[in-house]
Amino acid sequence: MPEVVGVRFKRACKTYNFDSNGLKFKVGERVIVETERGIAIGTVTYVPIDKEIRKLSKPLKKVIRKAEEMDYERLEFNKEREMDAFKICKEKIESYNLPMRLIDVEYLFDSSKAIFYFISDSRVDFRDLVKDLATEYHTRIEMKQVGVRDETKLLGGIGPCGRELCCSTFLTNFEPVTVRMAKEQNIALNPAKISGVCGRLMCCLIYEHDITQNKKGAAPSVDCNGCEDPHGKDMGVDG
């Protein structure tokens, strides 16, 4: 029975299971793991627990070791490369006059690939751009198109409530949000009031929707003369 440890790679992303490889960890420790994309650094979200193999969806990759000083130095080095790559790529996008907006650049921990996140309303032929970037940085290049909600999750910000955005702090998935949810909570359908930083309906509209519906079903009925008390007596006042 393998010991499984939970590892998260970004602040608001899902937790992935890894084989602890016989090592002991504390929640919050940084570890180096083997992933399908290559070597990565992540944060432990739960300590090793025993799990039956049949309950695992697929064979687990292993934790290689705990993060060391040189790993943090590599992280800083990657951040510097990401900033440089963002600037260069943005200049090249403008020179090629491509209909796309660069959002972020991510280097894999082992520098085996650089991922460029962008937004566009149409298909983009970025083959020449990729060739230029591959020549410039001597690594594999991936161009990844994202939506406006993904953009906000990547960049972060402050919501109308005055707190950091849910999507960039703890939401791991985007669930469908509808105008009907606002209607059923008696929220004014003012786009400025129910839209988030991304311009789409605020994710928090879903938080209390079920509770609101349950309370509505349990509330006493109201007649035309006024309220009805719990004992069924009319509390209305004759005019």
Per-residue pLDDT at 192: 83
| Backbone phi, psi, residue 94, to 5° | -70, -40
Compute mean pLDDT per 10 residues along the chain, 239 residues long, and list them.
84 85 90 89 82 62 93 94 96 96 94 94 93 95 91 85 85 84 85 86 83 62 50 45
pLDDT digits 0-9 by tens, 65-80: 999 999 999 999 999 9
Structure tokens, 191? 């786009």
Q: How far is CA 76 from CA 6, 71, 107, 137, in A?
A: 24, 9, 11, 17
For residue 102, the tally of other CB atoms under 10 A from its CB is 20
Q: In 3D, which of 49, 44, 40, 13 has the Cα closest to residue 169?
A: 13
Q: At the top level of CATH, which class does the domain 73-146 belong to? A: alpha beta
Per-residue pLDDT at 237: 42
Q: How far is CA 37 from CA 29, 99, 150, in A?
A: 21, 28, 20
Q: In 3D, which of 176, 167, 198 has the Cα closest to residue 11?
A: 167
Per-residue pLDDT at 57: 61
pTM: 0.74
Domain ranges in the chain are 3-67, 73-146, 154-216
